Structure 1
Amino acid sequence: MKKLLAAAMLLAITPFAASARDSLGSFTYVEAGVQRLSVDDGTDSLDFDGVGIRTSIELSDNFYVYGGYAWARNDDLAVDIDARDMQIGLGYRHTVFDNADLTAELGFQHTELDSDLFRDNLDGARLSLGLRGALSNNFEGWVKANYVDGSDYEGEFSGTLGGQLIINETWGIVGEVEAGDLASRYTLGVRASF
């Protein structure tokens, strides 16, 4: 996992194609889509299917706030398990090329697992460092290294790789994979940028 993340970061910081847009799209957007959360604790593997919504709002040329909520369910067992995930935080962007920004995000993450037999809440602080860039006139990509820690986490690392196929100035199709030691999340959705 760490080798894959290092290779993705190395590819991301190489100069972008000459045909790429001169600037990135907006950091103000709303997106909604479907997701699959795969949890593997070494002995069992559970897949949760659901939906989610995310938003980001530019506060200035360099700062933005972000948030998201996702809901998913696993019904493979005798008892259905619902998983809810909420994130909120502050982001910083710094232009490194005309069409690429370094990003840093610090936020709060809350996860809730609920069934007829148990209920568990996990809270932690989340730090993400990454790069977002215009790879062509119709495609943006991003890569992030994530770290979550807190009373309910033991310092967990994950990597994120995502992209947006730009349809027009407002609409795009987004896909993202976040993979860590215990869980992987796959999302596909639609984004409206403003």
Structure 2
Amino acid sequence: MNTAIARTLAAALAGALSLQAAAQERSYTYLEAGYVAQALQSPRDARFALDDIDARGGYLAGSLALGPQWYLVAGLYKGRDEVALRAAGVELAKFDLDAQQAVLGLGYRHALSERLDWTAELSWLDTRLAFEHKPLALRERSDGDDARLALGVRGDLAPNLEGWARLRYTDGDAYDGEFGGGVGLLLKFNRVWGVSAHAEAGAGNRQYSVGVRASF
């Protein structure tokens, strides 16, 4: 009888440890969607000034593991805002703004320990800003292509909580040699579902997002 009880307890303990290990597993294959807010500092000259952009909307992002070390990343971020063009502090016109940014990149991870990975990502960014003044039928669009290198770490803070931090450098059309950084958290409810939060900032650029993630 004692042997049977011992075996039962051992099996239950093994199952609990297995579930805990599963909760700690860091997946590089996932799909995520949620709310995003992006603030951009608008360029100014001596005569005219455009309000800083504070676009809010939604995003869809994901990652696909290609093996034990390599993975793909992709994302689409969209938001809307209303900005004013001013001269000497006087408002000349208001424009509806549609902001969109697409991201596609390749990532590499290296395990530093059982709980911590070092990551490196090289990405291409396509940024589009579309301004419209409906009463005057005015439309203006700005497109920019940029390259971004991001280096950081991703690890387990608790059995059901992940965190990451990274430094990045972006250069091209929309970003002019900008250094920045970001942090994030993922609270996992089970092996598949979780809630994530991201915060990233650079010179004149800030992005915050909260979403639901499904890991596979």
TM-score (normalised: structure 1): 0.85
Q: Pairwise mapping of residues 19-98 of structure 1 onto structure 2 (< 5 A)?
A: 24-41=25-42, 44-77=51-84, 78-98=94-114
2:165 maps to a residue whose letter is: V
CA distance in 2: counterparts of 1:169 and 1:115, whole angstroms: 42
Deviation at 1:136, TM superposition (A): 0.2
CA distance in 2: counterparts of 1:180 and 1:164, whole angstroms: 22
**CA deviation string 1:10-37 (max 9, x = no partner):** xxxxxxxxx9989542100000000111
Distance 1:144-1:161 versus aligned 2 partners, 3 A rule: same
> 1:187: which partner in 2?
209
Pick 1 or 2: higher relative contact order, CA cutoff 8 A, min separation 6.
Answer: 1
Contact 1:22/1:99 (8 A) holds in 2:
no
Equivalent residue in structure 2 for 1:113, among 115, 129, 143: 129
Larger radius of gyration: 2
CA distance in 2: counterparts of 1:168 and 1:21, whole angstroms: 8
**CA deviation string 1:113-140 (max 9, x = no partner):** 0022310011111100010000001110
1:167 maps to a residue whose letter is: F
CA distance in 2: counterparts of 1:42 and 1:153, whole angstroms: 12
**CA deviation string 1:29-88 (max 9, x = no partner):** 000000111112486432110100001000000000010001100025421101000000
Taking every aligned residue pair, what percent have the same amino acid on both sides? Answer: 39
Deviation at 1:180, TM superposition (A): 0.8
> 1:149: which partner in 2?
171
CA distance in 2: counterparts of 1:164 and 1:76, whole angstroms: 33
Distance 1:37-1:152 versus aligned 2 partners, 3 A rule: closer
Partner of 1:168, secondary structure, is coil
Contact 1:31/1:191 (8 A) holds in 2:
yes
Q: CA RMSD in A?
A: 2.0
Contact 2:100/2:128 (8 A) holds in 1:
yes
CA distance in 2: counterparts of 1:174 and 1:140, whole angstroms: 9
Contact 1:128/1:144 (8 A) holds in 2:
yes
CA distance in 1: counterparts of 2:36 and 2:129, whole angstroms: 16
TM-score (normalised: structure 2): 0.77
In structure 1, the gaps of 5 or more residues are 1-18
1:106 maps to a residue whose letter is: L
Which stretch of the first structure deviates more once superposed, 127-136 or 117-126? Answer: 117-126
Contact 1:142/1:163 (8 A) holds in 2:
yes
Equivalent residue in structure 1 for 2:182, among 140, 160, 164: 160
In structure 2, the gaps of 5 or more residues are 1-19, 45-50, 85-93, 133-138
Equivalent residue in structure 1 for 2:195, among 170, 173, 177: 173
Contact 1:21/1:99 (8 A) holds in 2:
no
Equivalent residue in structure 1 for 2:160, among 124, 138, 144: 138
